[in-house]
Chains A and B, each alone.
Chain A
């Protein structure tokens, strides 16, 4: 099967919230081929009218790497259709088996291209926000190889942002507490994101360059999960509190309810 066909397969799975078997079970894919599939599948979304508004980083914490059994940082594309307003509900049926993780998000005031230092990355930030990412692998049982997850837009499916804060905020070690229905389910620190979330931004700039891209001014960059992800179910109210920079929340509704 050609790269084009695999791209259509993952796009269709995401569009219809239908699980699929791993591509790697029947195809031997390199990481570069996986990013090519991601680019082609996301092109289908852009042709349907979605807009590219940023990037997400994945597998950036020890907890996350352990949970997924891999060790590479990966990235995916964010579109305007993935954005959930702070406090809104997501509809469970629009996902296959969604999970949520606490993150830090950046909005950029100027582009970042290729290899940059942590200082250069931090200087390109317009503002920082508490954020949660709703990840949803389209693969059966949330099981996948590294090329699989990359081809599937690194499991990206939705995200919610809290208030924007000054870029001078020290984000190196912010306490993060994610609660579901009032009970703390994940507690961590932004330091779990590659030791400093800014390193994830620098890594994003470096990694997207391999696909001929740069991070653009106005883009949102999700730095990656600070803890393990939590499974989402209808009826859940999810809230993240981040030290000093505020909170963000969403709930999960169901068509059946």
Chain B
């Protein structure tokens, strides 16, 4: 385990990089790729940001596809924190310069309707806890230069979180097929990312159960009112200023973002 000073230094370097600069991969500076160290860095910043007054509103799940896990060298997903200032609504203009090296992905977001604080959670708890599902665009970014990330870098960097855009048609779980729902992101009428629910760990609800258990384990259990961005249903697509995109998830309607 890396010492507390090194963790604090890495956390500060990441926070400073939000201004628009980039940092070199932390795994090289710290000489480790250990997820425990990575989450300690993330948690350091989470505490800092909450103390600063940022409102914690939920979590994101990352690395939910086999392809991304292979790239990062992970055998499970990862998570990051969602704050109120990251949230945008359908059709808003997104200040793309707030996210470094932005890429978009299409996801199902779940609103949690009851506390998930048992240490023996099951999929039935997840099914019972979801108030609604909504289509969501996640705009991921990386404070690490050239997206040169491994496990430690992305987890420390709040799971490469950036901003997100929620749709305006909340649906019950019974109203769509979480496993086979089709997903497409279009730019200028052309598909730039396609996929389906199954691409997210086989089922976005399975990913959500993983997260809920993990959150109990680390002492930040999901609570009523929390939002969960459950993970990408298809490949990442790069975007830049001036782009307009539309995400459609079968059964969950559409959501637009202008950059």
- Measured CB to CB, the residues of A under 8 A from B are 61-62, 172-177, 184, 187-192, 195, 226, 241-244
The answer on a CB contact under 8 Å between B199 and A243 is no
For B156-191 the 0/1 string (1 means CB < 8 A from A) is 000000000000000000000101111110100111
Contacts of B181 in A (CB 8 A): 175, 243
Residues of B in contact (CB 8 Å), total 23
Q: Which of B180, B184, B202 touches A191 (beta carbons < 8 Å)?
A: B184
Query: Complex formed: what's the CA distance from A190 to B195 in Å?
Result: 9
Q: Which residues of chain A have C-beta atoms less than 8 A from B186's C-beta?
A: 191, 195
Q: Are A187 and B189 touching (Cβ within 8 A)?
A: no
Which B residues contact A (CB, under 8 angstroms)?
Answer: 177, 179-184, 186, 189-192, 194-199, 202, 234, 248-250
Beyond A192-B184, A242-B180, A243-B180, whether A187 also contacts B199 by CB under 8 A is yes
Chain B nearest CB: distance from A254 CB in Å? Answer: 28
Q: By the criterion CB–CB under 8 Å, are B190 and A188 in contact?
A: no
**Binding site secondary structure of chain B:** strand
Q: Which of A188, A189, A241, A242 has the most CB of B within 10 A?
A: A189
Q: Judging by beta carbons under 8 Å apart, are B194 and A192 in contact?
A: yes
Using Cβ atoms and an 8 Å threshold, which residues of chain A touch B196?
175-177, 187-189, 243
Minimum CB distance partner of A195 in chain B:
B191
Other than the given A174-B180, A175-B177, A177-B180, 8 more pairs (CB < 8 A) read A173-B248, A175-B180, A175-B182, A175-B196, A176-B196, A192-B194, A195-B184, A243-B180
User: For the complex, what is the distance from the CA of A187 to the CA of B199, rounded to whole Å?
Assistant: 6
CA distance A188 to B234 in the complex (A): 7
A188-B117 Cα distance, complex, nearest whole Å: 35
Q: Is the CB of A177 within 8 A of B194?
A: no
Which single residue of chain B is at the shortest CB-CB distance from A183? B66
- Report Cα–Cα, A62/B181, bound state, in Å: 20
Assess whether A175 is in contact with B202, with CB atoms less than 8 Å apart: no
Contact residues in A for B182 (Cβ distance below 8 Å): 173-176, 189-191, 243
Which B residue sits closest to A176, measured CB to CB? B196
Interface residue from A173, A187, A242, A244 paired with B184 (Cβ < 8 Å): A173
Q: 5 pairs across A/B with beta carbons < 8 Å?
A: A175-B183, A175-B197, A175-B250, A187-B198, A243-B180
Contacts of B195 in A (CB 8 A): 175, 187-189
Report whether B198 and A189 are in contact in the complex, using a CB–CB cutoff of 8 Å: no
A184 touches B198 (CB 8 A): yes
Complexed CA–CA distance, A243 and B184 (Å): 14
- Shortest distance from the beta carbon of A193 to any chain B beta carbon, whole Å: 9
Contacts of B184 in A (CB 8 A): 173, 189, 191-192, 195
B189 proximity list for chain A (CB < 8 A) = 195
The CA-CA distance from A191 to B234 in the complex, in Å, is 12
**Complex formed: what's the CA distance from A189 to B185 in Å?**
11
The answer to whether B194 touches A191, judged by C-beta atoms less than 8 angstroms apart, is: yes
Q: What are the 5 closest A-B residue pairs judged by CB atoms, nearest first?
A: A175-B196, A191-B184, A189-B182, A243-B180, A173-B182
Residue of B nearest to A179 (CB): B198
